[in-house]
Structure 1
Amino acid sequence: MKAFSRLAALGRPFWMLWTGQTVSMVGTQMVQFAMSVWIYERTNSTLSFAGAIVASLLPAVLVSPIAVSVVDRVKRRNVMIAADSVAALMTLMLLILLWTDSLAVVHLYAFTAVASMVSAFQGPAFEASVANIVNKGLLTRAAGAFGVSATTLGVIAPSMAGMLMALIGLPGIVTIDLITFVIGTLFVWYAFSLAKSNTETLKAGTLKEALLDSRKNFASALGFFKRDTIMLALLLYSMMQAGLIAVSVSLVVPLILERHDEQTLGIVLSFESLGALFGSMAMVWFDMPERRMRIVLACDAIVAVCVLLVGMVEGVPALCAIEFLAGLTAAIASSCVFALWMTRVPESQQGGILVLTSTSTMLATASTVVFGGLLVEQVFKPAFKHGHWVAEMMGRAVGSGEGQAVAAMFVLCGLLGLMASVGGIALRPLRELR
């Protein structure tokens, strides 16, 4: 009863908002999986697949510093209604292209880019809306509720999408996405109507002033890193690891589809999400503030070994176990890094610095994903095709058969990630960061 009363304390508007977001995320995660499979099956190119990932990252990188300032000056409900309308229109256009058999990869790039820009505005507006609906003392509990739904869907959605892809294909999954989106949006708007008595605190000023605010925040963040060089080292280390992990994440779909089917891909990705769920839950119960950076470095080393092993094994049970361990340790490392930023950065500068760090990380991710795709297509594939000495050396590790070039990239990323982790452990100021 106590647990139920704690959940009920969040209020009806919050649970309407939570329900709407969760229902909408079901379709979104399923269609993301299905689009990944569709792109690779049509192009058989890791570079084309990497292009979709860049399209999902780069627009958000460019827009997010401005979006936060804009959202602070506009009613969040209006921002979310506009974002929902654009998203619904894009989904409907995607469905029409599928029905008329006119869909091309370039269309998916465009849809993904628009969705990325929309999310850059929708995300801050949604977070601010939650803060407006829920009492401040219950925000941690509210964040936990959203975290549980997101990670649970991460476990379920890939497996469901893998099965449905074989039965109804991409058109059927996009239709499901549109239905869940409409239902979810109705719940969200109903939540706003229930919470209409709550007032929003908006910043005064024009769009020009919002842009000036973004510049000031950026300059302030740069000043922080000039003063605290060890945090700059943490940023550079995080960018390096994020880039290497992004390459492996972007290539796991091509690797598994080269050797298995969509259902197997869904199962493997579900195990990764299950590991992330357990890792997030572990950090709720256990925390060692004095050893956070050491935990990060150790977990990153384990993730690097997992990436290395993914390129060397082919059996589905082994892949599931490795992905579970990678998801578990990556979630622990991510939680510890977030806590380090929150405790080391002055509260007055957290907004600007977090925008700068996330923007830098996304830029590193986008560039390394493209570079990884080029390396597979232009170096590893020709090398394995023509029996180059690189192929002979790497072939002993990655075995024979389909997907050798992609597997070789996993081995390379794993080795580089392990070297970065060992380097971080050897650097005492970084290792002892508290």
Structure 2
Amino acid sequence: MSNRSLTGGMKVFFLILVGQFVSLTGSGMTGFALGVWVYQRTGSVTRFALVSFFASLPGILISPVAGALVDRYDRRRMMILSDVGAGFCTLAMALLLWSARLEMWLIYLFVALSSAFVAFQWPAHSAAITLLVPKGQLGRASGMVQTAQAAAQIIAPLLAGVLIVRPGVLGIMLIDVATFLFALFTLLAVRVPAPPEGAWEEGAPKGSLRREALYGWTYIRARPGLSGLLRFFFLTNFLMSLALVLISPMVLSFSTPVVLGVVLTFAGVGMLAGGVLMSVWGGPRRRIHGVLGFSAFQALFMIVGGLRPSAALVAVAAFGFLFANAFVTGSSQALWQSKVAPDVQGRVFAVRRMAAWAAMPLAYLVAGPLADRVLAPLLAPGGALAGSVGRLIGVGAGRGIAFLFIVSGLLTLLLVLASYLHPRVRMVEDELPDALPEEDAKPAPT
């Protein structure tokens, strides 16, 4: 392959990445503003967490069908469908807010619909990267994606924290719609090549959408190392989401929305730093070490974040957590991209996302009631744990959530150890052959 071919594929990758970065920034601004709007008007941690629940569950449930359609049709068109649908949902909420008719059940409805459209985005984008980026550069490409996501996470709360005063939540939503349009234009300007000959999975079903959707499960179950890794992510995602969905109420319990924006921005700086380093370095040579080792660092930072009601301490913990997350996600993504045949990546990645992320809405559903009805009373002044745990982490508003951070971090450390001791997970890279042919570059799209 020529250097020109390499350059052509990378140019398309970068252009798509820029569009997604702008769109992620807009979505992050809406998410921040909507979360503050809901919490300040209801004062309910449960209702706040339910927004995250409805924003994740539909997309997870529809993932296998979305993955099958991604493998059937042009992946660029699937990303276009995702952006158009999600942008429409945000516009609908903006119009309802403008007419003073936005209610909680309507928020739940439209974030759920948006989640269903976004379900097409991730498998389509991930599979497209495999076709545009050389195999040896997949780790760096994952790092670049992490960098873009981190930059969006830094910019979004900063802008939203300022703009929530004027032009307010409505103005932020309209800006979000504009970012969807920008991402749409970048996708319309490029083409993504089809999977090359010789990179097809033998035995993959064709014709029946139901059979194609179920094939992702069959593929992963036949590979114990991948299925073990998927179980690891299911359990750690549950534990981490159980605590992290409540970081905003925890910070707001002792500080202001402006400080919360600074904390979340600092978290984004950590993810940006991790993403940049991952882009330059490419991650550990043994990617499973990157997944498990940096997951352990994430667990430690979760524990630190719950120790005291201090915005500075939470900001440091959030920085470290997302710094490590860039390596966990980048290493995992590169591992899966190199071990799964390109023509079935849409289906396999969709099922992978569904299984790993299914824990998140469950955690969101449990987190609010657990914090409101169980942990808050235990760590209230005079509560059952006030004289023991409360002496270490404090008592009062938000301390029950902090205790949840600490317990979740400790359990995550145990899961990392158990997964490393599992030989199929530890040796997954040795036991599975590479699915991509050895080559210097990908063909440029025509």
Question: When the two structures are superposed, what TM-score results if normalisation uses the length of structure 1?
Answer: 0.82
CA 311–186 in structure 1, closer or farther in 2 if over 3 Å, else same = same
CA contact (8 A) 2:243 2:405 kept: yes
Q: For the residues of structure 2 that align with 1:180 and 1:346, how far apart are their CA atoms?
A: 33
Instruction: Give how far 1:362 is off.
Output: 1.0
Matches within 5 A, 1:313-332: 313-332=308-327
CA 138–111 in structure 1, closer or farther in 2 if over 3 Å, else same = farther
Instruction: Give how far 1:61 is off.
Output: 1.4
Q: What is the identity, as a one-letter code, of the residue corresponding to 2:315? A: C
Q: What is the identity, as a one-letter code, of the residue corresponding to 2:393? A: V
What CA deviation, in whole Å up to 9, does each residue of 1:19-47 have, x standing for no partner?
44333332112111111222222222222
Q: For the residues of structure 2 that align with 1:24 and 1:351, how far apart are their CA atoms?
A: 22
Q: For the residues of structure 2 that align with 1:231 and 1:261, how far apart are their CA atoms?
A: 43
In the other structure, the counterpart of 2:330 is 335
Matches within 5 A, 1:251-270: 251-270=246-265
Q: For the residues of structure 2 that align with 1:286 and 1:188, how far apart are their CA atoms?
A: 26
CA contact (8 A) 2:304 2:317 kept: yes
Matches within 5 A, 1:15-414: 17-76=16-75, 79-126=78-125, 140=138, 146-189=145-188, 191-192=189-190, 209-224=208-223, 228=224, 231-283=226-278, 284-285=280-281, 287-290=283-286, 292-342=287-337, 352-385=347-380, 387-414=382-409
Instruction: Give how far 1:351 is off.
Output: 5.4
Identify, as 1 or 2, the structure richer in helix.
Answer: 1
CA 61–207 in structure 1, closer or farther in 2 if over 3 Å, else same = farther
CA 425–201 in structure 1, closer or farther in 2 if over 3 Å, else same = closer
Runs of 5+ consecutive residues of structure 1 not aligned to the other structure:
none
What CA deviation, in whole Å up to 9, does each residue of 1:33-77 have, x standing for no partner?
111222222222222222122212211111111112223334556
Q: For the residues of structure 1 that align with 2:142 and 2:294, how far apart are their CA atoms?
A: 24
Instruction: Give how far 1:386 is off.
Output: 7.4
CA contact (8 A) 2:147 2:271 kept: no
In the other structure, the counterpart of 2:441 is none
Q: What is the identity, as a one-letter code, of the residue corresponding to 2:365? A: V
Q: What is the identity, as a one-letter code, of the residue corresponding to 2:281? A: W
Report sequence identity in percent.
28
Q: For the residues of structure 2 that align with 1:169 and 1:199, how far apart are their CA atoms?
A: 42
Instruction: Give how far 1:326 is off.
Output: 1.3
Q: For the residues of structure 2 that align with 1:138 and 1:246, how far apart are their CA atoms?
A: 32
For the pair 1:417 / 2:412, whether they are aligned, the reply is yes
CA 386–257 in structure 1, closer or farther in 2 if over 3 Å, else same = closer
Q: For the residues of structure 1 that align with 2:412 and 2:289, how far apart are their CA atoms?
A: 16
CA 146–337 in structure 1, closer or farther in 2 if over 3 Å, else same = closer
CA 235–136 in structure 1, closer or farther in 2 if over 3 Å, else same = closer
In the other structure, the counterpart of 2:440 is none
What CA deviation, in whole Å up to 9, does each residue of 1:145-193 have, x standing for no partner?
554333222222122212222333211211221233334433433x15x
Q: For the residues of structure 1 that align with 2:241 and 2:290, how far apart are their CA atoms?
A: 21
Q: What is the identity, as a one-letter code, of the residue corresponding to 2:297? A: I
Runs of 5+ consecutive residues of structure 2 not aligned to the other structure:
430-446
CA contact (8 A) 1:24 1:185 kept: no
CA 348–175 in structure 1, closer or farther in 2 if over 3 Å, else same = closer
Q: For the residues of structure 1 that align with 2:335 and 2:9, how far apart are their CA atoms?
A: 28
Q: What is the identity, as a one-letter code, of the residue corresponding to 1:23? A: V
Q: Secondary structure at the match of 2:274?
A: helix
Q: Secondary structure at the match of 1:392?
A: coil
What CA deviation, in whole Å up to 9, does each residue of 1:284-337 have, x standing for no partner?
4164435x5455444323222211221222333322222111111222233333
Q: For the residues of structure 2 that align with 1:414 and 1:360, how far apart are their CA atoms?
A: 21
CA contact (8 A) 1:10 1:138 kept: no
CA 177–332 in structure 1, closer or farther in 2 if over 3 Å, else same = same
What CA deviation, in whole Å up to 9, does each residue of 1:348-378 have, x standing for no partner?
8765544333211111222123222221122
Instruction: Give how far 1:126 is off.
Output: 4.9
Question: When the two structures are superposed, what TM-score results if normalisation uses the length of structure 2?
Answer: 0.80
Q: For the residues of structure 1 that align with 2:126 and 2:336, how far apart are their CA atoms?
A: 19
CA 130–252 in structure 1, closer or farther in 2 if over 3 Å, else same = same
